[in-house]
Chain A
Amino acid sequence: TLLGILCTDAPIAPKQLRTLLASAVTKSFNSISIDGDTSTNDTVALLANGAAGGKPIDDKYSTDYGAMREVLTEFAIDLAKLVVRDGEGATKFVTIRVTGAASYDDAKRVASTIARSPLVKTALYGKDANWGRILCATGYAEGVSSVIPEQTSVSFVPTDGSEELKLLVKGEPEAVDEERAAKILESEDLEILVRLSEKEGEEAVYWTCDFSHEYVTINGDYRT
C-alpha cells in the first residue's frame, strides 16, 4: 500500500488544493509501479494551513498557482521515487521514458505496461539487455494507437551522463556492445528510453524496479 501525507504552510484554497494535488499525483505517485498490484488503501493527502502568510492561492490561472504546481509536482516525484527505491526485493531503480507519442496518455500507458512486465523486470534483475521483452510489452499496451513498429527505437541511457546505448533503431536491431550493456546494467540506476517516433510528440516518465527472488521470498512468507 502507498500512503502519503504532504503539508505546507502556503495559503491555498480547498478547490485549488484539490487540482494541485491531482496534477502532482498524475506525474508522481500515479507514475510508479513496484509489482503491478493496486492496493485497497492507497491514499495521498495534502494539507495547507497558510501559517506562513501571504496572498492566498485561489485562482488556477495565477502565476502563484503555476509555481505551486511545479514545486508540488517535483516534490511529489522525489517522494514517489523513494518508494520505488524501497521496492520489495528491488536491486535496481529504473526510469522508463517514452517519447514521441501522440498523447501523454499514450506515452504513459506504454511506460506503465513496460513497468509491469514480469519478463522485463526479471531481465533487468538478470542484467540482461533484453530489448525484445521491452518491445513486446510496448506492443501490447492497451488502447495505444501511436505505436508503429517501424518507427520505434529502444535505448539504455546510463546515469553517468555517457552516451545512450542503442538497442533498436526504427524497428531494426542494433549490433549491441554486450560488454557496455553489461556495464550499464551493473549500475543500480538505469533509464530505458523508448522513442515511439522521431517526430516531436508527447513524453511520459515512469519509475519502477526489477523483480528478484527476494520479492517472492518476502511475499511467499507473508500471511494474512
Chain B
Amino acid sequence: HRTVNQIRTYAAPGEGAIPASKKKYVPTSGTYPLGFRAGSAHVGVKASNTRFDDLALIASQSPCSGAAVFTTNKFQAAPVTVTRHMLKRRSGKGIRAVVVNSGCANAVTGKGGIEDAITMGKSTDQCFIKDDNGEDDGEGSRTIVMSTGVIGQRLPIQKITDKIPTAYYNLSNTHDHWLSAARAICTTDTFPKLLSRSFTLPSSTETYHLVGMTKGAGMIHPNMA
C-alpha cells in the first residue's frame, strides 16, 4: 500500500476520496448534448453499500439512434445478451435510455439472470411510457441495460426496480447530475470518468455536443465487436 496508496473496495462507488493525483482528471464543468439527461439513485446492490448511488440512468427526451459494441468473451453476461438482441430487434431505432447498476455484474447467472436484465429494461421503459401518456411504440424494450461488479451472483432485482423511478425522477442535464451518474457506475475506480465536448460538422452551422462516461480499473483488456 505504501507504494501507490490505492486501497480499493468493490462495494461503494464514490466511497473513497479521489486521490490528489487524479483530481485533475475529474471535470468541474461541462457542455452537454441537448435532450439528454442523467440521473442516479442508491440501491445498495452490495449490502455493504449503505450510502452511495449505484444505479445510473441516461435518457433521451426523444427516441434516438443507438448502437453498441460488446465483449467477445464467450461467457457473455445477461445484460450483454439482452441489449444485443434489443438493438438488433429495433435495428438501432427508437432507443430512449441506458440503465446501469454497479456492484453486481449479472454474469454467469443463467436464465434467471437474463430475466433480471429484461426486467431492468422493462422497468425503465415503464417510466417513459408513463410520461408519454401511456403511449408505447409496440416494438418492445427501448432501454440499453448494463451491469458491472461481482460475477456469479444474481442481481437484487426487486431492490433495483424499486429505485429505477427514483433515478428517473432525478434526471437532469446539469454537470452535477452527469458526474453523479458517472460515479454511480464505478466499481474499484478511484475517480469518475466523464468528458464532454462541442464540435461542428462541415455541412452545417449548428454546434453539436458529445458526452461520454466510462468506468473500469481491472479486468480490462477489451475486445469488443
Q: Contact residues of A with B, CB < 8 Å?
A: 1-10, 12-15, 17-18, 20-22, 25, 29-30, 32-55, 57, 62-64, 67-68, 71-72, 75-76, 78-80, 82-91, 116, 212-215, 217-219, 222, 224
Measured in the bound complex, the distance between the Cα atoms of B215 and A107 in whole Å is: 27
Q: Kindly list chain A residues whose C-beta atoms are within 8 Å of the C-beta of B4.
A: 89-91, 212, 214
Contact pick for A88, options B6, B73, B211, CB 8 Å: B6
A49, B60: Cβ atoms under 8 Å? yes
Q: A47-B64, A47-B95, A88-B6 are in contact. Are A1 and B79 (CB under 8 A)?
A: no
Q: Kindly list chain B residues whose C-beta atoms are within 8 Å of the C-beta of A82.
A: 25, 193, 195, 214
Measured in the bound complex, the distance between the Cα atoms of B214 and A84 in whole Å is: 11
Instruction: Give B7-38 interface residues, CB cut-off 8 Å to A.
Output: 7-8, 10, 22, 25, 33-36
Contact pick for B64, options A38, A48, A212, CB 8 Å: A48
Q: A7-B36, A9-B36 are in contact. Are A87 and B208 (CB under 8 A)?
A: no
For B62, B75, B213, the residue with the greatest tally of chain A CB atoms inside 10 Å of its CB is: B213
Q: Contact residues of B with A, CB < 8 Å?
A: 1, 3-4, 6-8, 10, 22, 25, 33-36, 58, 60-73, 75-77, 79-80, 83, 91-93, 95, 98, 100, 105, 107-108, 144, 146-153, 185, 187-191, 193, 195, 197, 199, 201-225
Q: List 6 A-B contacts (CB under 8 A).
A: A14-B92, A29-B214, A33-B221, A71-B199, A79-B195, A217-B1
A37, B221: Cβ atoms under 8 Å? yes
Q: Kindly list chain A residues whose C-beta atoms are within 8 Å of the C-beta of B218.
A: 34-35, 37, 87-88, 215, 218-219
Residue of A nearest to B21 (CB): A188
* Besides A20-B67, A47-B60, 10 other A-B contacts (C-beta < 8 A): A1-B215, A4-B212, A32-B221, A40-B75, A47-B36, A54-B203, A79-B195, A87-B217, A219-B218, A224-B153
Measured in the bound complex, the distance between the Cα atoms of B216 and A29 in whole Å is: 11
B64, A50: Cβ atoms under 8 Å? yes
A5, B100: Cβ atoms under 8 Å? yes
A85 CB to closest chain B CB (Å) equals 6
Measured in the bound complex, the distance between the Cα atoms of B209 and A68 in whole Å is: 11
